[in-house]
Structures are given as C-alpha cells and as structure tokens.
C-alpha cells in the first residue's frame, strides 16, 4: 500500500505539473516559463485525477498515522471532494476569467516577488506572453454561450481589456534596461493583440449568452458539509446569516445611540463616508499609515507573535484586477520561499472610471473605515496569518486550503482587535461592526442567489438597502458572488466557527466564562499562534489540529 508521505508527494507533483502558474506562485521557479494547459482535455484530466487521488487518499487508514498526518490526509480528501462536487458545473465553459486569470496573474507574480535575476524573469515573462494566444484560443474553443451568463462574460470582457493594456503598456516598465523593455514590448504587443481578439470574441459571446450562474442548493450544501466540514446546509447558513445581521444591527443601533444620539446607524455611516481621502493616492497613504499603526499595536500588546523579518507594503490594486474586484485584497510572499514581504492592494478604480464614480468608491474607504480594513488585510489578518502559517504549516497545507479559514481568520482578527482596544473612537467601532454586518448580508445574498431565491438586481438592491455600499460597489460585489459561489459566505461563517473554537480552547484552559478581553494575553497569543500555524484548514480539521483529534 502507498504510504501517506509518498502519496502526498506524488499528488503535489501532479498539482504543480497540471497548474504551473500555481507552482510558480508558490515559489517553485522551475515552472516560471509555463502557462497552464486550459484545453477541454486538460480539464477532463484534472477531473479524472481528482477522482483517482480521492480514492487513494480515502484508502489510507489511521493505522500508523499521528494526528497531524491524519489531518493532512483528511485535508486532501476534503479538497478533492470539493473538486468532484463542482466537476459537473464545468466552470471552464462558463467563465472567461478561467483563461485570462492565469495568464495575467502568472506575469504579475513574476515581477511582484522577483525571485530570480531580472534577465531570467524577462525570459520567463516572454515565454508566458508567447503562450497567451494559445491559452485564449483554448478559451475560445471551450466557452459555451449556452452555459455562460452575460454578467459573467461582461466581467471577463472587462478583464480582457485591462489585460491588453497591462501587457502592452505596463509590463515593459518592469525591465530596468532598454533591451529588456524591448523584448517585453514586442512579446507584449503580440499578447495584447490576442487579448484584443479575445475581447471581440467575448462581445459576441455576451450577446448570445443564455446560461445561468445559479450554483444550486445541492452543490452549495455538499461543499459546506464535505469540503468545509460544517454541519449545516445552505438554507440553514442563510438563516445564520440573517440572525447575525439582525443581532449586529441591534448592536450598531445601541452604539450609534450612545455615541451619536440616534439609532439610525445607516445615516451616521453615510455621513461618516463623506470624510474620505480626496484621491486614490491619498487613500493608499491613509491605508499605509493605518497598517503601520496596527503592526505597532501587535508589537506592543503581544496578541500574536510577529515573525522576524516580515513586512507589508500597501500598493494600488493591479490594473487587470480592477474591473473584477472593487475592494481591498492581499497577496502574500510565495509559500516555498523564505520571503516574508506581503502586498496589501487598495482598491483603485478601473481605467476610464468617471471622477464622480471614483468619489463614490472613495466614500466606501472612509477615514473611520480604513482601520478595520487594514486589520483585516494586514495585522493580524491576512498578512500575519499567511506569513505565520508558511513558517509553521506542512507543505500540503500551504498548497491546499479554504477561504472559510483564511477569510474567517481575517474577520476574527477585526473582532479580537476591537476586544483588545485597538479601535479608538465610536466611529471606528461602528465601521468595524458594519464590516461584520456586511459579511452577514453577504451570506444572505450569496445563498439566496445560488438557491434561486434572488436575482442579480435584487441582490444589488438588498446590499444597498442593508449596508452603506454605494451602487457601483454593490454591483461589483454582487457580480463577484455570482461569479464565485460560496466564497462570500466564508468570512462570517469562518469567524463564527473560530469564535466557537476559541470558547472550547478557553474552557480547556479553565477560563470558560471569562470575557475574552480579560483573558491573559499570553493565553490568547497561544491560541492565535497555534490555530493560525495550522494553515488554512477546513474549520472542523482546524479544531482537531488545535484541540486534539477526537474523531
């Protein structure tokens, strides 16, 4: 019988060969020259591999495995089950980003992390640029107007146009000498022409698109239970989201009444949104200053252990990402390197956005809201978690993981920073609570959309009525939910599970019933370091990793 370490090595090697952009992003530079094979045959092979490896991991018994090894095995099983559940959805026939995403991300990551000398990076970039026409041609063959929905195609179209500009105008500036710039310019022009042609094709697909983005209740529920190790179904998750929304709205009304003299927290936040940075660059500077303050708070209080040599820079979002994601995001340093530099991307608007809409987008990044977003993306949110886990987690846990842990952790980070006194005035607290309430609204909309109980326009109307989102941001948000089913529910769902695990942990320490704000910081730090160091596990597996394998 194949032993688990051998099977894990074989599985990871297959992952890297099948997805060289993923491997390159993890720091395996031998894959830097390759783009993924995005043909129908390649997607079919990945589905076959998922079934095969799932059976092989399930055949590994507990005998001879320590608790950590059992969790590694069960992580692989959970993630592979997830792939088999979505196989018949055939997202590669529906979503144009399947084809532009690896191409653009694979180029951007090379120069963001700069793991090799510049001449080698230029060689790799030119090789990938030369493969872009092939990747987009595969998309042309695979994309099916009867399966695709116009909304999803439009997102892909915006990405294609931004991608053409990136490879034609921006990528050559990554080279420091004329020869390198000339090579990138020549290869970039050929790739840009392929993107232009791809955009023309997507215009036609969008006109013909008659498919649906609704994921369906059965798939949604199976992912919750079989991939995420959660005990509830999609309808029950929606009820949890609504209940949390109602609870948070009451808490926000009380805080608004005590601090501002009115129960109308929406009006208070809308007024506060008027106090925002006047330009996108001023917004970036404000985020950078707040990120530094959050890090200093961690260093002074000891809520977590700061890894030696880590740092986080705050930058504008990549040009090709702006049409797709309208909120802040984060990219960590490659997992299989010793680098500890993270990149916190703040949401700049797509090219061609009017000044009026830019101001609306800036209003969603008010001065009183910037602190909670900085905590979420950087300290002790994504940047701290990803940096810490890459030091402590096993290799398979650096490759496989779930947003229900990573996004749940980042939202939990906001919660614990409030408990320990980071937010210094009521408006910052109100924005923190609104950020959590926003995630509760996300659960309601995401589940309702994919269960068929809400259409796109109803989702936009719900988000605008229930949260202070301006219309452009609300439309970008709901489009994201349609495009990426179950992900929007990950934030608050994961946070609530981490809070439940923390309660169990404190009970084991004899601190049941003690307010978390009163728990000795060394106990809290131990909880954070150990849980975050386990990786990005499904929450049921994370609980086992922290509290013991009690299956």
Task: Write out pLDDT tens, residues 462-511.
Answer: 999 998 887 878 888 898 899 889 999 999 999 999 999 999 999 999 99
Tell me: do 258 and 203 sit in the same domain: no
- Which of 208, 243, 273 represents a domain boundary (last residue)? 208
**Which whole number is the average pLDDT over 129-151?**
97
d(CA 261, CA 483): 41
d(CA 286, CA 306): 23
Tell me: do 164 and 271 sit in the same domain: no
What is the pLDDT at residue 100? Answer: 96
Per-residue pLDDT for 133 more than 60? yes
- Which of 190, 208, 226 represents a domain boundary (last residue)? 208
**Which whole number is the average pLDDT over 404-433?**
96
Per-residue pLDDT for 416 more than 60? yes
Is 399 part of a structural domain of the chain?
yes
In DSSP terms, 345 is beta-bridged to 315, 329
Tell me: do 96 and 175 sit in the same domain: yes
- Which of 164, 191, 208 represents a domain boundary (last residue)? 208
Q: Which of 136-145, 377-386, 463-472 has the lowest mean pLDDT?
A: 463-472
What is the pLDDT at residue 364? Answer: 87
Nearest to 318 by CA among 169, 163, 458: 163
Q: Which residue has the tokens 């980003």?
A: 97
What is the pLDDT at residue 549? Answer: 64
Question: Sorting pLDDT into bands at 50, 70 and 90, what band is 2?
Answer: low
Q: Which tokens sit at 417?
A: 């920073």
Per-residue pLDDT for 162 more than 70? yes
Tell me: do 239 and 180 sit in the same domain: no
What are the residues whose beta carbons fall under 8 Å from the beta carbon of 346, sequence distance 6 or more? 280, 283, 284, 287, 314, 315, 316, 317, 328, 365
Q: Are 324 and 372 in contact (CB under 8 A)?
A: no
Is 214 part of a structural domain of the chain?
no
| % pLDDT > 70, the chain | 99
Is 127 part of a structural domain of the chain?
yes
Is 167 part of a structural domain of the chain?
yes
Q: Which tokens sit at 354?
A: 């009017």
Is 461 part of a structural domain of the chain?
yes
Tell me: do 446 and 490 sit in the same domain: yes
Burial string for 507-529 (b: 16+ CB within 10 Å, else e) reads: eeeebeeeebeebeeebbbebbe
Mean pLDDT of the chain: 95
How far lies 131's CA from each of 35, 99, 481, in Å? 7, 11, 30
Q: How many domains is the chain partitioned into structurally?
A: 2
Q: Which of 99-103, 361-365, 367-371 has the lowest mean pLDDT?
A: 361-365
Domain limits for position 470: 234-547
Tell me: do 198 and 271 sit in the same domain: no
Mind listing the pLDDT tens digit for each residue in 511-536? 999 999 999 999 999 999 999 999 99
Tell me: do 386 and 468 sit in the same domain: yes
Q: What is the pTM of this model?
A: 0.95
DSSP for 102-117, written as a single string: HHHHHHHHHHHH--S-
Nearest to 498 by CA among 368, 381, 331, 360: 381
Q: Which tokens sit at 30?
A: 């031998």
Mind listing the pLDDT tens digit for each residue in 33-51? 999 999 999 999 999 999 9
Q: Are strands 341-346 and 311-316 parallel, antiparallel or unpaired?
A: parallel
Per-residue pLDDT for 177 more than 90? yes
Tell me: do 94 and 199 sit in the same domain: yes
Q: Which residue has the tokens 């749940």?
A: 408
What is the pLDDT at residue 472? Answer: 79
Is 218 part of a structural domain of the chain?
no
Mind listing the pLDDT tens digit for each residue in 282-332? 999 999 999 999 999 999 999 999 999 999 999 999 988 888 777 899 999
What is the pLDDT at residue 551? Answer: 53
Tell me: do 182 and 317 sit in the same domain: no
Q: Is the dihedral of CA 409, 432, 371, 356 positive or negative?
A: positive
Tell me: do 196 and 272 sit in the same domain: no
**Which whole number is the average pLDDT over 392-401?**
97
What is the pLDDT at residue 477? Answer: 87
What is the pLDDT at residue 322? Answer: 86
Per-residue pLDDT for 75 more than 80? yes
Tell me: do 194 and 50 sit in the same domain: yes
Mind listing the pLDDT tens digit for each residue in 260-288? 999 999 999 989 989 999 999 999 999 99
What is the pLDDT at residue 550? Answer: 58
- Helix 403-419 with 370-377: angle, nearest 10 deg: 130
Q: Which residue has the tokens 């608007």?
A: 349
What is the pLDDT at residue 15? Answer: 98
d(CA 433, CA 246): 12
Is 229 part of a structural domain of the chain?
no
Is 219 part of a structural domain of the chain?
no
**For 536, what's the count of Cα atoms within 13 Å in the CB-facing half-sphere?**
25
How far lies 265's CA from each of 50, 276, 429, 432, 489, in Å? 48, 18, 12, 12, 24
Tell me: do 315 and 170 sit in the same domain: no
DSSP state of 329: E
In DSSP terms, 344 is beta-bridged to 314, 330
């Amino acid at each position: 019988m194949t032993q688990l370490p051998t099977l894990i090595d074989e599985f990871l090697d297959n992952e890297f060969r099948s997805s060289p952009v993923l491997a390159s992003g993890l720091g395996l530079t031998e894959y830097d020259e390759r783009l993924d094979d995005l043909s129908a045959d390649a997607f079919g092979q990945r589905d076959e591999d998922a079934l095969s490896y799932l059976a092989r991991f399930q055949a590994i018994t507990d005998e001879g495995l320590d608790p950590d090894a059992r969790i590694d095995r069960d992580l692989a099983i959970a993630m592979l089950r997830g792939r088999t559940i979505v196989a018949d959805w055939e997202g590669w026939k529906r979503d144009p980003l399947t084809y532009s995403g690896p191409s653009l991300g694979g180029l951007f990551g090379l120069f963001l992390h700069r793991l090799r000398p510049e001449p080698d990076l230029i060689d790799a970039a030119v090789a990938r640029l030369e493969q872009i026409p092939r990747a987009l041609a595969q998309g042309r063959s695979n994309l099916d107007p009867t399966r695709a929905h116009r909304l999803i195609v439009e997102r892909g179209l915006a990405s294609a146009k931004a991608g053409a500009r990136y490879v034609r105008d921006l990528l050559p500036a990554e080279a420091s000498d004329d020869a390198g710039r000339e090579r990138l310019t020549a290869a970039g022009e050929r790739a840009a022409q392929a993107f232009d042609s791809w955009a023309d094709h997507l215009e036609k697909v969008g006109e013909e698109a008659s498919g649906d983005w609704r994921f369906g209740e059965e798939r949604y529920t199976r992912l919750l239970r079989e991939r995420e190790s959660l005990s509830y179904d999609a309808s029950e998750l929606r009820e949890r989201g609504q209940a949390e929304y109602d609870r948070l709205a009451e808490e926000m009304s009380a805080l608004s009444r005590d601090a501002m003299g009115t129960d109308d927290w929406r009006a208070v936040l809308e007024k506060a949104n008027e106090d925002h940075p006047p330009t996108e660059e001023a917004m970036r500077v404000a985020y950078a200053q707040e990120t530094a303050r959050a890090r200093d708070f961690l260093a002074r209080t000891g809520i977590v252990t700061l890894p030696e040599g880590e740092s986080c820079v705050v930058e504008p979002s990549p040009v090709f990402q702006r049409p797709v994601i309208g909120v802040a995001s984060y990219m960590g340093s490659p997992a299989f390197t010793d680098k500890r530099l993270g990149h916190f991307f703040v949401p700049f608007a797509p090219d061609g956005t009017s000044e009026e809409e830019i101001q609306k987008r800036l209003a969603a990044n008010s001065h009183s809201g910037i602190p909670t977003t900085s905590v979420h993306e950087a300290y002790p949110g994504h940047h701290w978690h990803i940096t810490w886990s890459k030091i402590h987690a096993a290799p398979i846990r650096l490759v496989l993981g779930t947003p229900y842990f990573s996004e749940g952790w980042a939202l939990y980070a906001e919660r614990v920073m409030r408990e320990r006194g980071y937010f210094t005035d009521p408006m910052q607290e109100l924005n923190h609570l609104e950020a959590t309430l926003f995630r509760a609204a996300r659960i309601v909309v995401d589940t309702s959309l994919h269960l068929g109980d809400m259409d796109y326009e109803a989702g936009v109307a719900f988000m605008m009525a229930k949260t202070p989102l301006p219309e452009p941001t609300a439309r970008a948000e709901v489009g994201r939910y349609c495009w990426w089913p179950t992900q929007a529910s990950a934030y608050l769902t994961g946070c609530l599970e981490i809070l439940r695990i923390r309660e169990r942990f404190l009970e084991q320490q004899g601190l049941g019933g003690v307010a978390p704000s009163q728990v000795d910081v060394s106990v809290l730090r131990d909880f954070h370091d150990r849980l975050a160091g386990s990786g990005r596990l499904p929450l049921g597996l994370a609980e086992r990793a922290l509290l013991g394998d009690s299956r």
